[in-house]
Amino acid sequence: KQEVTQIPAALSVPEGENLVLNCSFTDSAIYNLQWFRQDPGKGLTSLLLIQSSQREQTSGRLNASLDKSSGRSTLYIAASQPGDSATYLCAPRFQGAQKLVFGQGTRLTINP
């Protein structure tokens, strides 16, 4: 069964810290992997998309890496700000599947 695990489930850090969110998936045969941000009760905002042939993608203070062979992706957030507080979801698209498979997310709180 294709599953996605995100660790930690929740994280609380002071403003300004650099932090890493982890995502692992059970099947290395993926087309791509997306990282999303979700604010409470709101929709999903796509942050980064990494294709299976890529190692990393960057957008501003965000950097996502992909190690397909080990079934892992990490989201690195530099110089965290209170506005970064949200739940972060990773979602690979496994080969042969017409859907994204989501992890349970990491709930991030940045304290001023």
Partner 1 sequence: EAQVTQNPRYLITVTGKKLTVTCSQNMNHEYMSWYRQDPGLGLRQIYYSMNVEVTDKGDVPEGYKVSRKEKRNFPLILESPSPNQTSLYFCASSLGGRAFRQYFGPGTRLTVT
Q: Which residues bind partner 1 (CB under 8 A)?
A: 31-32, 34, 36, 41-46, 49, 51, 89, 91, 93, 95, 98-100, 102-105
Q: Which residues pair with 14 in a beta bridge?
A: 111
Nearest in space to 19 (alpha carbons), one of 28, 7, 31, 27: 7
Rounded CA Rg of the chain: 13
Smallest distance from partner 1 to CB 28, Å: 15
Q: Which of 32, 85 has the CB closer to partner 1?
A: 32
Smallest distance from partner 1 to CB 2, Å: 11
Q: Which of 13, 100 has the CB closer to partner 1?
A: 100
Smallest distance from partner 1 to CB 46, Å: 6
Q: Write the DSSP assignment of 7-76 as a string of letters.
A: E-SEEEEETT--EEEEEEES-S-EEEEEEEEE-TTS-EEEEEEEETT-SEEEETTEEEEEEGGGTEEEEE
- Structural tokens at position 106: 């990491």
Q: Which of 13, 63 has the CB closer to partner 1?
A: 63
Smallest distance from partner 1 to CB 99, Å: 4
Q: Which of 30, 80 has the CB closer to partner 1?
A: 30
